Amino acid sequence: MPIANAKDMLLKATEEKYAVGAFNVTNLIQLKAVVEAAIAKSAPLIIQASVAPSKFLGPKVIAAIYKTIAESAPIPICLHLDHCNDVEFCKTCADAGYTNIMIDASKQDFAENIRQTKEICDYCHEIGTISVEGELGTVSGIEDQVKVAEDEAQLCDPEQALEFVDQTEVDIFAPAIGTAHGVYKTKDPKLDFDRLKKIANLINGSQPRVPLVIHGGTGLQPDVVKRLISLGGSKFNVSTDLKHTLIDTTYDYISSHRNEYNPGKIDAVVKEAIKGRIEYWIELLGCAGKA
């Protein structure tokens, strides 16, 4: 398929009340697993690379692999830079061919967050089809370079959210509503559903215009995920689940095949395990068959 625009993909999801999975990858095996699962489920897909893996492999390498895969896939696939707080690196990835850039200036004050987000929006919109995600309030936990302690986490103010969206012209918006990166310490984390509802009504009430993102998908119970989608979340970020699956599957395989030296076999087992997790998420998010 031609290279997809995340905003259009997510506006459709917002209207039809499902969410698109945005899955973080750090290597080619994970990337292959994610794409195979999405094709098997005929689901639209957002591949995410955060800053560390983007720098490790190089933005041009990641973008080239992505482009080759996306153009021959029967489903729409985006490539998203996740949680980048470096304006220059956002631009580097936009130039390299990422289709979606998240400028995360959420630790800055409100005015500076608007200024940096607007700078990236202007830059990406000038290039053309690149959409930009911004964040207001902070998601707790650790995601790559961005670390926020739970007690520091500040939830997104609905009125400020509207002002942020209007002033930056951001394409996709991540409001902090209490979800966290990493593993939740409790089975029933405190999420502010009313806040999400208010934000969704203020921004997308009359007509969907800026799709909303839920960060920290790993560990949320299925009924919670469905409620967040029904309230307006249309991009669902999943990272930790896939990291754990990669590490645990690799460990288990090596432990039980200690004298085997065939990396291809480990890759195949890891790929299947990750594929299983992605298929679970795609079904839960309701995006199966929506490609």
Single out the catalytic residue among 8, 82, 104, 144: 82
Q: Please give the torsion angle defined by the CA atoms of residues 142, 143, 144 and 150, in that order, rounded to the nearest 10 degrees.
A: -20
Window of 138-146, 154-162, 258-266, 269-277 that interacts with Zn ion by CB under 5 A: 138-146
| Nearest-CB residue for Zn ion | 215
The CA distance from 163 to 167, in Å, is 6
Q: Are 21 and 242 in contact (CB under 8 A)?
A: no
Helix (H) or strand (E) run with residue 175 in it: strand 172-175
Runs of H (alpha helix) within the chain: 6-16, 28-40, 51-57, 59-72, 87-96, 110-127, 158-168, 193-204, 222-230, 240-256, 263-285
Window of 33-41, 50-58, 188-196, 207-215 that interacts with Zn ion by CB under 5 A: 207-215
Q: Does 135 bind Zn ion (CB under 5 A)?
A: no
Which C-beta is closer to Zn ion: that of 39 or that of 224?
A: 224
Which C-beta is closer to Zn ion: that of 23 or that of 66?
A: 23
Q: Does 143 bind Zn ion (CB under 5 A)?
A: yes
Window of 52-60, 93-101, 141-149, 225-233 that interacts with Zn ion by CB under 5 A: 141-149
CB of 172 to Zn ion, least distance (A): 12
Amino acid identity for residue 9 in this structure? M
Which C-beta is closer to Zn ion: that of 217 or that of 286?
A: 217
Active site residue 82: yes
CB of 257 to Zn ion, least distance (A): 34
CB of 145 to Zn ion, least distance (A): 12
Q: What are phi and psi of 18, to 5 degrees?
A: -130, 175
Number of residues that bind Zn ion (CB under 5 A): 2
Q: Does 144 bind Zn ion (CB under 5 A)?
A: no
CB of 179 to Zn ion, least distance (A): 8
CB of 154 to Zn ion, least distance (A): 15
82-88 LR contacts (CB < 8 Å, sep 24+):
82/22, 82/24, 82/48, 82/49, 82/50, 82/51, 82/143, 82/144, 82/237, 82/239, 83/50, 83/51, 83/143, 83/144, 83/145, 83/146, 84/50, 84/51, 85/145, 85/146, 86/51, 87/116, 87/119, 87/120
Q: Does 215 bind Zn ion (CB under 5 A)?
A: yes
Window of 116-124, 135-143, 151-159, 251-259 that interacts with Zn ion by CB under 5 A: 135-143
Active site (catalytic) residues: 82
Which parts of this chain interact with Zn ion (CB under 5 A)?
143, 215
